[in-house]
């Protein structure tokens, strides 16, 4: 099958029978719901860009499994060049949507599961890698969007999965049958799952023997019986229900998350990638986390490009683009953003080949990348808010702006430069609000903190991989210390 167009992708999602709930009601038509449609549009952009000749090298790759051209979001990285192109593609998608485009999690799951299943099979004689390659080819040949589900609700963080008062707080196998398994539990904060055809489920932490029922990985269609999703609430989300688009800030694109519940879901044998081999749960988690922390050096940088541009336009419209402190703040925003990009490219360039044949990033540098992501976007957002001014959060509603009586007053008193319309000035202000405080802040500011693991998770990995013993030995050698 050829690569899908964006329109074909939308129609393929429309045909699915997902169980989606929001605001206490079942959403009968998620595709066209005004709150949910912008997130679908963000994924659609990954299909549209793949159709454009100028972006072909970034958005597509040749699959070594099918021999055909595939969307890079379904590709297995076979070189450091693939790893770098991934980051460049993610920056492009961020620039084109100014939102979370949602397919990174599935791409990172593909690559983590690929190498982990290979090594598990080598140790246990299992057939998980064969299962996974079959699923991978199916996803590539049908140009599917596949979500990755790792984060469990976790309950009491001081207790292991098997020791939780409620055993369902980590997703687990509740029944093993001759033809497959039955799983129960939930995955939280699932970005883009309502816009996906399939979902790859992975463990969320390293596990011991007592947790073997929780050491499970598999793939199923998102509309499989027993799966339902509860949409997460976002700041300013109901603005999308109002007439007009000025107050939304980014009227076309967005992203949504969901609590995804697996209520005794059956998984056939050929869709199972891990089933009780607990010693490989931690391997899969570490590799997925590494790939996903690399991802943030691309996607957040692309959205940052838009935010920096919006701040610069706001300065233009306010009439102060030449003020020295404004120019210095924009330079600082660019410096921070490009530093994040450097980290994404660096961990890709230093990638190495796994036993399975695909390439993994330098895990230490990937964790450094994500540690910076937990900080720099906050400063970029602060500087954007500083440059924009208070109007970005105090502007009247669009209904007031369109009102025959109130409109002329708003037009008069919120005018900036004489040659710039008040409406355009308000549009840029609302875009900055959207990126720093509104619905897009979930995919930029807050996700920069908690996506792909909290800051402490990266610090733990940096501690493990920083090779402090080697550094001590270097210092002792230079100082001629003998012990």
Angle at 339 between CA 85 and CA 248, to 5 degrees: 80
DSSP 259: E
Given 286, 398, 433, 447, the catalytic residue? 447
Task: Determine whether 124 is an active site residue.
Answer: no
Q: Which residues of 463-480 are buried (b: 16+ CB within 10 A; e: fewer)?
A: eebeeeeeeeeeeeeeee
Which stretches of 230-323 are DSSP H helices?
A: 281-318
Say which residue the tokens 């009102």 belong to: 403
DSSP, collapsed to helix, strand or coil, labels residue 168 as: helix
347 belongs to the catalytic site: no
- Tokens found for residue 6: 């964006």
Active-site annotation holder among 33, 46, 74, 104? 104
CA distance linking residue 96 with residue 48, whole number of Å: 11
418: tokens are 């004489």
Could you tell me whether strands 227-231 and 20-22 are parallel, antiparallel, or unpaired per DSSP bridges?
parallel
Give me the catalytic one of 97, 151, 191, 204: 191
| Cα atoms in the Cβ-side hemisphere of radius 13 Å centred on 140 | 23
Q: H or E element: which one contains 26?
A: strand 25-26
Q: What's the distance, CA 415 to chain centroid?
A: 38
- Identified catalytic residue from 93, 198, 257, 398: 257
Is 292 designated active site? Answer: yes
CA 247 – CA 9 distance, rounded (Å)? 28
Which residue among the candidates 93, 299, 347, 369 is catalytic per the annotation? 299
Q: Does the annotation mark 299 as catalytic?
A: yes
191 labelled as ligand-binding?
Answer: yes
Rounded CA separation 392/441 (Å): 14
Helix spans in 319-416 (H): 324-349, 363-373, 376-388, 391-394, 398-402, 406-413
343 is catalytic: no
**What is the C-alpha separation between 51 and 42, in angstroms, rounded?**
15
Q: State the Cα–Cα distance between residues 351 and 84, nearest whole angstrom.
A: 9
Exactly one of 114, 296, 341, 444 is catalytic; name it: 296
Counting Cα atoms < 13 Å in the Cβ hemisphere of 205 gives 16
Considering only the C-alpha atoms of the chain, give the largest distance between any 2 of them, rounded to a whole number of Å.
Answer: 85
Q: Is 104 an active-site residue?
A: yes
- Of the listed 100, 120, 343, 347, which one is catalytic? 100
Q: Is 33 a catalytic residue?
A: no
d(CA 149, CA 258): 11
Q: Reply yes or no on whether 379 is catalytic.
A: no
Q: Residues at the annotated binding site?
A: 191
Catalytic positions are 100, 104, 191, 257, 292, 296, 299, 447
Annotated binding-site members for FAD: 191
């Amino acid at each position: 099958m050829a690569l899908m167009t964006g329109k074909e992708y939308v129609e393929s999602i429309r045909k699915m029978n997902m169980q989606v709930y929001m605001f206490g009601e079942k959403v009968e038509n998620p595709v066209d719901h005004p709150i949910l449609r912008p997130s679908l549009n963000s994924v659609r952009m990954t299909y549209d860009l793949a159709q454009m000749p100028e972006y072909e090298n970034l958005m597509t790759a040749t699959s070594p499994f099918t021999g055909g051209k595939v969307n890079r979001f379904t590709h297995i990285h076979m070189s450091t060049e693939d790893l770098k192109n991934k980051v460049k593609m993610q920056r492009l998608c961020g620039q084109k949507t100014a939102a979370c485009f949602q397919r990174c999690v599935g791409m990172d799951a593909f690559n983590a599961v690929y190498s982990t299943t290979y090594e598990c099979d080598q140790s246990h004689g299992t057939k998980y890698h064969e299962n996974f390659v079959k699923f991978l080819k199916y996803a590539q040949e049908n140009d599917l969007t596949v979500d990755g589900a790792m984060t469990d609700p976790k309950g009491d963080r001081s207790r292991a999965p098997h020791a939780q008062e409620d055993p369902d707080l980590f997703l687990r196998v509740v029944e093993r049958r001759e033809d497959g398994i039955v799983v129960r539990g939930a995955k939280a904060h699932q970005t883009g799952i309502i816009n996906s055809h399939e979902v790859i489920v992975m463990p969320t932490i390293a596990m011991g023997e007592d947790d073997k029922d929780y050491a499970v990985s598999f793939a199923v269609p998102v509309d499989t019986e027993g799966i339902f999703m509860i949409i997460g609430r976002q700041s300013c989300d109901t603005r999308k229900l109002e007439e007009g688009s000025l107050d939304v800030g980014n009227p076309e694109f967005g992203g949504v998350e969901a609590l995804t519940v697996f209520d005794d879901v059956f998984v056939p044998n050929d869709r199972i990638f891990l089933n009780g081999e607990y010693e490989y749960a931690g391997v899969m988690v570490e590799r997925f986390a590494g790939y996903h922390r690399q991802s943030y050096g691309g996607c957040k940088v692309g959205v940052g490009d838009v935010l920096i541009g919006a701040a610069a336009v706001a300065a233009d419209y306010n009439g102060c683009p030449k003020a020295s402190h404004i120019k210095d703040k924009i330079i600082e925003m660019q410096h921070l953003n490009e530093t994040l990009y450097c980290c994404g490219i660096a961990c890709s360039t230093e990638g190495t080949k796994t036993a399975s044949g695909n390439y993994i990033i330098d895990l230490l540098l990937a964790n450094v990348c994500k540690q910076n992501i937990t900080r720099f976007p906050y400063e970029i957002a602060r500087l954007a808010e500083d440059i924009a001014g208070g109007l970005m959060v105090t502007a009247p509603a669009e209904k007031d702006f369109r009102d025959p009586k109130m409109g002329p007053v708003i037009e008069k008193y919120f005018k900036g430069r004489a040659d710039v319309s008040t409406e355009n000035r308000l549009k840029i202000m609302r875009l900055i609000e959207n990126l720093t405080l509104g619905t897009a802040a979930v995919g930029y500011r807050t996700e920069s903190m908690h996506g792909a693991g909290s800051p402490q998770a990266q610090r733990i990995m940096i501690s493990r991989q920083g090779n402090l013993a080697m550094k001590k030995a270097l210092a002792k050698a230079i100082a001629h210390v003998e012990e």
